[in-house]
Every structure is written in C-alpha cells, then in structure tokens.
Structure 1
Amino acid sequence: MEKSISLTIDGQVVTVAPGTTLRAACEQAQHPVPTLCWHENLTPANACRACVVELKGSRTLVASCSRVAEDGMEVLTASERVQNARQVVAELLLSTSDATLAPSLQELAQISGADPNRFAGGATWAQPMRDDNNLYVRDLSKCILCYRCVEACGDDAQNTFAIAVAGRGFDAHIDAGFGRELPESDCVFCGNCVAVCPTGALIGKKEYELRQEGQWDESQITTTETVCSYCGVGCDLQLHVLDNQIVKVTSPADHPVTHGMLCVKGRYGYAFAQSEDE
C-alpha cells in the first residue's frame, strides 16, 4: 500500500494519495482554485495560469493543475500574490477576447476583482467568424488559446492531430497546418474540440444559428439520456431538446466508455431521429 501524502493548504493539513495534483488536493480540502484550460479528461496544458497557487520555497507561482503534491508542502490558494496574478490573467484575456460565452472566464474575473477595462483599447483577437462546414462554426475572437481543442484532437481523445497552435506571441493561433482551411485538413469533424471549448469559440452550427436568431434558451432545454445506435461500443448520449427538436448532442465526461468524447455520427448524426416517415 502506497504511503499517503500530507501537505498544508491555507493552514489546513490535507492527506491525499500519491500522484494527486495540487488542484485536486485543494478541491479535496474545499479550497477550490479557478481553472480555464484544465479539463478532467485532458492532459494539463499549463496555458492559462488561472489555477496558480503559492508554494512555500518556490520562486514562482506554480500551476496547480499539473504540479503533483509532495509531502510537507505548504500551499496558499488566495494570497495577495496569487490574487494579483489571477486578476491580471483575467484582465488581459478580457482585453483581447469576447467572453460573452465564457462562464469560467467571467467567474474568474468576478472572484479576482478584475477590471475588464484596465487594458481596453489595445489589440484584440477580433476576426470574422468562420463558417466553412455544416457541423460547427469557429469564432476565434472568443479563443483564449487554452489548448483544450488541440489536446482533444491529439493523444487525449481523437488522435487525428488536425490542429495545433501556430505562431508566437500575439500571432499565436489555432491552425490546421500550412494555412489550410478546416475542410481541407485532416479533421474528421468529430466535434470533440467543440465539446471541450470553454469559451464558445467553437460551437455547434445549430446552436449558433439559434443564438443568432435569439431562440436559444437554456432554461427551456431538456436533456434525455440514451445510447448511440450506430455501433456496438455503447456510447452514452445526452440529447439536448428545445421545442421538441434535438439541438445538440453531448456525452457525460464521467462516462466510462466515452469520457465525454464522441465520433461524428454520435455527435452530429441525429437528424434521422426527427424525420417523419412519409
């Protein structure tokens, strides 16, 4: 039996299993830290720095989503240094990105006391929305480069590697390679990138159209669970229904088969369920 790890989080002694990250340890201690790029089924990208905590003896703040807990650590989750870092992260992202569909970024701004106008007036990621396929649209003015879509397209789920982060600094962007448009790339349109996007930069075509028409109403959407009928794998589906019409399909992140990921048929092949026999 492996020896447990004991550390102190905001003055509270916490015991966790070996291999537990500081983020998970903080959550166990009921001192949760905010996250943007972290996803429970993806490899931590250490991109957003929203989850940083102060570790005694460390010169810099550490990303709690990837730093593994060690015996005797002393961690502060809400020190002045941590709060200031989170505030600046939120303010910088709000100055460049459209956060209207980014609840986690809005929450980070709220809890950190960020001023959305502090860095306003500079360059932004504003750009035309890209509508080049029948399944989802890309509004990269909402992108915060969290790397979630890249991770889901790569080793963590789809293993297609159709997209990556290209460029450096303010020119960094999600790219399909060699300047290709998405339909010309290796993309198989599984939509797993859409499923993990935290900001609405990637959004299903049906949802986008309903939002544009002012008809998307979360309070009126019901969810029905079923099993995908396309093959024998047994993927659990959640059908999001509005006005008796399926408008989106997802899968639970904690499902043992899908882990929230689906193929193109499971996620987008639902029109047959709404067709009427003539």
Structure 2
Amino acid sequence: MNDITLTIDNQTLTVPPGTTILQAARQIKKEIPTICYHEHFTAPSLCRMCVVEVEKSRVLVAACSRECENGMVVKTDSPRVQQSRKTILEMLNSAVDLSAAPEIQNYMRTYGANPRAYADGKKRALPLHDDNPFYLRDYSKCILCWRCVQACGEDVQWTFAIYRGGRGFDARIATFFDVAIPQSTCVYCGNCVQACPTGALKSKREFWFENGRDLRELARESRIAKKKR
C-alpha cells in the first residue's frame, strides 16, 4: 500500500498506512497529551485527552486510535481542542483524588483547568484494599483508564486477575467475583502497578517510604511476625 500524506499543524508529512495521528504527531515532535494511552498497549480511547480537530469532521477525534488518511488536515492545539482538554481535566479532578498524579496535575496547569470546577460533584469514595504482601489498591485515586487491566490481561501478562466491574458511576477495577488478590490469579508481577498513572496501585515499599516509615524497622517487624506464625 502507498504511504499516506497529511498535514498536522501546518506541517506536511508522509507516514505508512496504519499510523495513528498520535504516532504521526510524535514523528514531527508534536506532543499530544495522553492519560489512558500506553505505547505498548492497545489504545483504549477512553480518557479523550488526546482529542484533536480534523478538518471536515463534526467531532473531535482520539489521536491515539484514529488512523491517518490521505489529505487529512489536523489541528492538535486549536481553541476547541484546548477547551475540551480543560473540561476533561476539571471533570476528572471533581471525581477522583489526583494528589498522586503529577502528570495530570501538570496538564491541569498547562490547560488552565480550575481545581474548584464542579466542586459540588460527588467524589469516588472507595476503601483502601490492603489484602496482599506487595501492593495496595486505592481506587479513590482510580480514573478508570484500564491500563492496569491491559497490563494484567492480553497486552502483557495474560493473568486476568483484575478486570472491569460495576456500571456507570459505580464502575471500578475489581478482581473476578471480588475476591482478595491472594485468592485471584495474580502472580505479583507488578506490571499493573507500573502502568498506573495516578497512584491507585502502589507498591507497599513506596507507600511506606512516602509516609515516612523506616523500612529497616518494617523489615524487623515483618521478621518478628513471621516467627510468631
């Protein structure tokens, strides 16, 4: 198949068939913000932070999954695009604890998102899950980007210990049948923790360190607990 020629922000380029707008933009050093996208995973097109304006398209399109077409004219930072990203960030901030998501906080500053917008909105209030020796699950920080699900599933590990649960506002990440992690198929590979962009999944060592705990003292306590068992 012939290569595809398109224009991104007044710059013309040629790319192979199957190239997404996001990939094409990165070839010419145009940075499009992403949250749910991971370069090694299937693009889920969920967060909509990567939306761009395509000439003659009625709606903004997700750059992470929309493939380039011949003659396509793309604007990655138009006023319409900026307003969309700002609104998305304000809505995320109104529902989720983003205190451990520095990349998203930086996006909020870049796009002038108001942290107090939608202040009366209902926050996701979910319990902290501490049910295994290696990592914590704090779903009050979860933005439902599905990156952990992809890492646990067919994009990386093929373990399928965690998946989508619930619907609407009650949508969440869960184990199958809501069992504790030790009773799931989890192999403690850590891929889900590495993929999480918001700190909803965090290693216990990192959590303890951030909260000022002495890791040597924790190790001593752990040895004592093992002896008692």
**TM-score of the alignment, normalized to the shorter chain, above 0.5:** yes
Change (3 A) 1:17 1:214: farther
Aligned sequence identity (%): 50
Secondary structure of the residue that 2:110 maps to in structure 1? helix
Residues 1:160 and 2:159 are matched in the alignment: yes
TM-superposed CA distance for 1:182, in Å, is 1.9
**Could you tell me which amino acid in structure 2 is paired with residue 118 of structure 1?**
A
Pairs aligned (count): 216
* Letter paired with 2:103: S
Residue 86 of structure 2 corresponds to residue 87 of structure 1 = yes
Shift of 1:205: 0.8
Compute the displacement of 1:29 (Å). 2.1
In the TM superposition, what whole-angstrom CA distance separates every residue of 1:28-60 from its partner, at most 9, and x where no partner exists? 222211000011111111110000001112221
SS class of match (2:53): strand
Q: Superposition pairs for residues 50-89 of structure 1, below 5 Å?
A: 50-89=49-88
1:174: which partner in 2? Answer: 173
Residue 91 (structure 2) pairs with residue 115 (structure 1) = no
Give the corresponding residue for 1:252: none
CA distance in 2 between counterparts of 1:129 and 1:213 reads 19
Please list the CA deviations of residues 211-239 of structure 1 after superposition, one character each: whole Å capped at 9, or x if unmatched: 11178xxxxxxxxxxxxxxxxxxxxxxxx
Q: Which amino acid aligns with 2:45?
A: N
SS in 2 for 1:39: coil
Q: Distance in 1 between matches of 2:198 and 2:114?
A: 19
Distance of 2:45 and 2:213 partners within structure 1: 36
Provide the alpha-carbon RMSD of the alignment.
1.6
Unpaired segments ≥5 residues, structure 2: 217-229
Matched, 1:192 2:191: yes
**SS in structure 2 opposite 1:165?**
strand
Cα distance, 1:187 vs structure 2 = 1.5
- CA–CA distance in structure 2, aligned partners of residues 190 and 63 of structure 1: 31
Deviation at 1:79, TM superposition (A): 1.2
Flag structure 1 segments of 5+ consecutive residues without an equivalent. 216-242, 246-278
Distance 2:166 2:80 in 1: 30
Q: Which residue of 2 aligns with 1:96?
A: 95
Dislocated runs of 4+, deviation >4 Å: none
CA distance in 1 between partners of 2:103 and 2:35 (Å): 6
Larger mean CA deviation between 63-72 and 126-135 belongs to: 126-135
What is the rounded CA distance, in whole Å, between the counterparts of 1:102 and 1:47 in structure 2? 17
SS of the equivalent of 2:129 reads coil
Normalised TM-score (structure 1):
0.74
Kindly provide the amino acid, as one letter, of the partner of residue 212 in structure 1. Answer: N
Give the AA of the match of 2:114. Answer: D
